[in-house]
Structure 1
Amino acid sequence: MAKILTSPSKYVQGAGELGKLGSYAKNYGKKALVLVTASGHKRLGNTLETSFQDSGCELVLDYFNGECSKTEINRLIEVMKKNGCDMIIGVGGGKILDTAKAVAYYEKVPVLICPTIASTDAPCSALSVVYTDAGVFEEYLFLPANPNMVLMDTEIIAKSPVRLTVSGMGDALATYFEARACKNSGAMTCAGGKVTGAAMALAKLCFDTLMDEGVKAKLALEAGACTEAVEKIIEANTLLSGIGFESGGLAGAHAIHNGFTVLEECHHMYHGEKVAFGTITQLVLENVPAEELEDIIDWCIELGLPVTLKQLGIENPTKEKLMAVAEAACAENDTLHNMPFEVTPASVYAAILAADRYGKYFLGEE
């Protein structure tokens, strides 16, 4: 099997970059459909419209209906055709970005991605998660290419709720450990091949950046400051983790996250918060040295990421509930089987219990 690395064609990050969107867009076409929420337009509409003035590229704005569904994708395809648009730009959170990527795929046009938060590593990926109109997961739409451009305006992202960026760090925390597991097992990555040395290097840089800059970035964001530490964390959450997970592979942490989605008590938690606890559980499964485990748990505690089941919202963690999580995590088509050893629901159940106990220990709880 070949080694494969995939990535967006262009990644731009910096304060005030959204104000240059029109000048970037003109390199991809003549008329752009810009997808944004009504609330996003209130905050960013003037910036978007001004950026297209005298750019040589025309702007067509449309409000996102709130769900990345086939109905919404098909509606926007008709908007594209009616207005003669030759590219699409998504501005906002994950579902807007996934919708823009899907529309671009079906219409065979360029797509520019402009996240306003740094809560996951999805913006750089060649994937859209499609839901029903009611918000129930329907399918993964695997795309043949990554976005043509990802633009991160750090001034805007730094104004988003701090918890969202911290959640992004929780998501990014898994990147190196899952890539390491995939490399050791020889598993196929999301890019369709084996792990490249480049992907491993980016995954390790992602991890090192989180450890060195994470707490500093959180404190700066709480102070309302966009510092160099914040800039580095936004890059780690988005670009380094994005390439790292797609070309490095997924393993235990994300599968365990998926397992926790069966419990309603966890639904209020962000993706990256559940992935952080999933990462600790994967490390328990791997029986890593105590020092490595302690470092990760202490880092999560400093950032406010969950290290116990109670912090995930599970007040009554019965064996029945946790076995349901473990069995879902071990689903035949999930990534837990990319671990370099056999994993069973029983071993995952035990690792969850132990991870919870370790978290309590380091929190000083009985």
Structure 2
Amino acid sequence: MFSQSGPQRYISDVDAYDQLPSFISDLKVTKVLFLHGTKSLRAAKPYLPNFGDHVEVTDVFFNGECSYEEIHRVAAIAKEHQVQMVIGLGGGKVLDTAKAVTTGTHLYLVLIPTLASNCAPWSSVSVHYKANGEHLDHKIYKETAHLLLINPKVILNSPVNYYVAGIADTLAKFYESELMFEALDDDEYTTALSISRQMAINCKNILLNNSVQAVKDMQAGQLTHTWRTVMETIIVTAGTVGGWGGDYARSTGAHSVHDALTLFPETVHLLHGIKVGYGILVQLAIEHHYDDIRNLLPFYHELNIPTNLEDLGLGDIDDAGITKIAAVSADPETTMHLIPLDIDTDAVKSAIYKLEEITAPVK
């Protein structure tokens, strides 16, 4: 097992972006590739400084998916312009692409998230998709970002649904890792694993106690301590779970269910974390933790996180479709099998049906 605690330097402040020109100058960088989306640039532009009078910037618009084709396209541009640094600005897919382009190279990496929808800014992982949004795989890198910059004002003004998706995705840090931690003997706990487990517990406690108010604050445009705590839990605390815990704290069952759901066009419009949120409930059903499901349901309903197939837009799915979700989720190559249980297609299928039973409207 190896641990990668996070970026080399992290700044979270309303003037965080102002640190960028001196960072570029101190590294004697003169050629930068700036990767971003249209909306992310519009959100951050009022706060972005000039990168430096003597810095040549190659401006690259992101194509929308962290696909191998997009990674190769951006890498080719970086090579053509002989850049020394890649700056990724935007959501998780933009940042994952920037990470994929720089890994294994001499290029410096700066990440500037404009959403709090997952821990991509903190992690050393990229998740890859097809151009149509279907999940492909993920890669774990040996490097993390040289610099991570967060301007809370930019994220506060981002769409609330991304923030809610981030809450659901971060909640999975606890539920996906807890059985693995419980299976460890006391003498197997290293300092890194102890930190990882405590961070996973923090994710759960902070989110369950503060998320509803944080979402209300965001809807009101109020940059409160509660909102900021939840925002940084999504990006930072969540990132430290996998960063310190390695294979003991990676995505497991909930994310495997998410990956299977991406095969259904009806779910394309749903954000990553929203599908993961549903996956948490399926994983808890696999583990027969039905009381945990019932305890989470009011929280899910308050934040409008899906609890059943109807909520996912799959209300008309038949048994064959459910079998497909279960089979893909339980494929031997998935992270589902990091859970210390015997899990197969039938186990996942039974869990999905059990969840439907638990969440069925009371007649």
Please give the range of the TM-score, normalised by the shorter of the 2 chains. Answer: 0.7 to 0.9
Q: 1:201 to 1:156 in 2, by over 3 A?
A: same
CA contact (8 A) 1:29 1:57 kept: no
Letter aligned with residue 342 of structure 1:
D
Q: CA deviation at 1:142?
A: 3.1
Report what 2:255 is aligned to: 254
CA contact (8 A) 1:179 1:245 kept: no
Report what 1:87 is aligned to: 85
- From 146, 149, 154, the equivalent of 1:151 is 149
The SS at the match of 2:311 is: coil
CA contact (8 A) 1:185 1:338 kept: no
Q: CA deviation at 1:240?
A: 1.3
Letter aligned with residue 255 of structure 1:
S
1:337 aligns with 2:337: yes
More off after superposition, 246-255 vs 59-68: 59-68
Letter aligned with residue 12 of structure 2:
Q
Q: CA deviation at 1:57?
A: 5.8
Q: CA deviation at 1:85?
A: 2.5
Q: Distance in 2 between matches of 1:8 and 1:163?
A: 26
The SS at the match of 1:122 is: coil
| TM-score normalised by structure 1 residue count | 0.87
Q: Percent identity?
A: 27
Q: Distance in 1 between matches of 2:135 and 2:285?
A: 29
1:360 aligns with 2:346: no
Report what 1:208 is aligned to: 205
Q: Could you list the per-position Cα deviations for residues 311-351 of structure 1 after superposition, in whole angstroms to 9, with x for gaps in the alignment?
A: 11112132211111111110111111122221121121111
Letter aligned with residue 269 of structure 2:
H
- From 212, 218, 223, the equivalent of 2:220 is 223
Q: Aligned runs of 1:12-31 on 2, under 5 Å?
A: 12-31=11-30
Unpaired runs of at least 5, structure 1: 187-192
More off after superposition, 78-87 vs 249-258: 78-87
Q: Distance in 1 between matches of 2:242 and 2:159?
A: 24
CA contact (8 A) 2:118 2:169 kept: yes
CA contact (8 A) 2:41 2:90 kept: no
CA contact (8 A) 1:20 1:51 kept: no
What RMSD in Å do the two structures reach over aligned CA positions?
2.7
Q: 1:293 to 1:43 in 2, by over 3 A?
A: closer
The SS at the match of 2:277 is: helix
- From 150, 175, 178, the equivalent of 1:177 is 175
Q: 1:161 to 1:111 in 2, by over 3 A?
A: same
Q: Distance in 2 between matches of 1:131 and 1:258?
A: 10
Unpaired runs of at least 5, structure 2: 185-189
Q: CA deviation at 1:112?
A: 1.0
The SS at the match of 2:121 is: helix
Report what 2:112 is aligned to: 114
Report what 2:319 is aligned to: 319
Q: Distance in 1 between matches of 2:350 and 2:130?
A: 35
Q: Could you list the per-position Cα deviations for residues 292-321 of structure 1 after superposition, in whole angstroms to 9, with x for gaps in the alignment?
A: 332212111111111121111112132211
Q: Distance in 2 between matches of 1:82 and 1:288?
A: 54
CA contact (8 A) 1:179 1:195 kept: no
